[in-house]
Amino acid sequence: MLRLGWFSTGRGEGSLGLLRFIQERIQQRKLDAEIQFVFSNRQPGEAEGSDRFFQQVRQYGLPLLNLSSAEFRRARGRPFSRLREEYDQHAMALLRDYRPDLCVLAGYMLIVGPALCRTYPLLNLHPALPDGPTGTWQEVIWKLIEQRAFRTGAMMHLATEDVDRGPVISYCTAPIVGKEFDPHWEALDSLELAQVKAAQGEAFPLFQLIRQAEYRREPYLLMETLRVIAQGKINVRNGQAWDWSGRLLYATMPFGMCLDPEIDQAMREDTADP
């Protein structure tokens, strides 16, 4: 059984949805794993979104550990960027009784420091392809629009000090051209992107379509990645990922394992379920 740690700020529906998606499949025995703990950098009462997240964690009966990064910064009166290592040391002290095989960063809004990266194998979801843009999901989408990209996707990678560029474990793709998208791309030909950003922002229909194309595949990418790790097809250790034969993953699959077939199958099965 794969023992998981779960790191999340829990600020919105996306974080809550990822936890619900994985925990329900664990309960349905579709994934041979258990979540040993949930850690959040918010305390109860800090925000409505995280409070809903904490309520769900408690309903699942999962151990919940909290250490407010905002309160940590206020108490010391310094920028958090100068406190990251100290904060992570306090977080690790809270987690000292747990021995997860793998930890998932699922909507965890802090950059993790070197000590935390060295202590736990941290799997991070980044809403872009391995060779795609870096940044927040909003920044990624605007860059895709600016580049007139043909596809988007998401990847799971090990968290390192090099933000969003740790060793890639797996990825999925999604086309952003075709019947649904083409009219919006054509309309963009007569528009200035800067004006679109100023006037419509994230309400721009093409922005929304690209986000949904990637977003609906995120939980499946996380699920199928955890499944191949639980099955031993990928082994994560010492800050690297190894394939079933014992070779470094990037030596045989430079961009990690493409899980499109597994994800397509899982999505079809969910659609077929009554």
User: Per the structure block, which two tokens stand in for 94?
Assistant: 């809270």
Name the 3-class secondary structure at 151.
strand
| Residue 139: per-residue pLDDT | 93
Specify if 238 maps to a domain. Answer: no
| Residue 48: per-residue pLDDT | 92
Tell me the HSE value of 85 on the side-chain side, using a 13 A CA sphere: 5
Specify if 235 maps to a domain. Answer: no
Specify if 91 maps to a domain. Answer: yes
| Residue 186: per-residue pLDDT | 93
Tell me the HSE value of 227 on the side-chain side, using a 13 A CA sphere: 18
| Residue 274: per-residue pLDDT | 58
Q: How many CB atoms lie within 10 A of CB 167?
A: 17
Q: How many domains does the chain have?
A: 1
Specify if 167 maps to a domain. Answer: yes
Name the 3-class secondary structure at 21.
helix
Q: Which domain holds residue 7?
A: 2-228+256-272
- The pTM of this model reads 0.91
| Residue 16: per-residue pLDDT | 93
**Interval 184-205: pLDDT, tens:** 999 898 888 899 999 999 999 9
**Interval 155-166: pLDDT, tens:** 999 887 666 567
Specify if 30 maps to a domain. Answer: yes
| Residue 93: per-residue pLDDT | 96
Exposure string (b/e) for 59-92, b if CB count within 10 Å is 16 or more?
ebebebebbbbeebbeeeeeebeebbeebbeebe
Specify if 29 maps to a domain. Answer: yes
Distance in angstroms (rounded) separating the CA atoms of residues 202 and 210: 11
Specify if 240 maps to a domain. Answer: no
Specify if 249 maps to a domain. Answer: no
CATH number at residue 28: 3.40.50.170
Exposure string (b/e) for 46-57, b if CB count within 10 Å is 16 or more?
bbebbebbbebb
| Residue 165: per-residue pLDDT | 62
**Interval 19-78: pLDDT, tens:** 999 999 999 999 999 999 999 999 999 999 999 999 999 999 999 999 999 999 999 999
Cα-based distances in Å from 156 to 119, 137, 199: 19, 14, 33
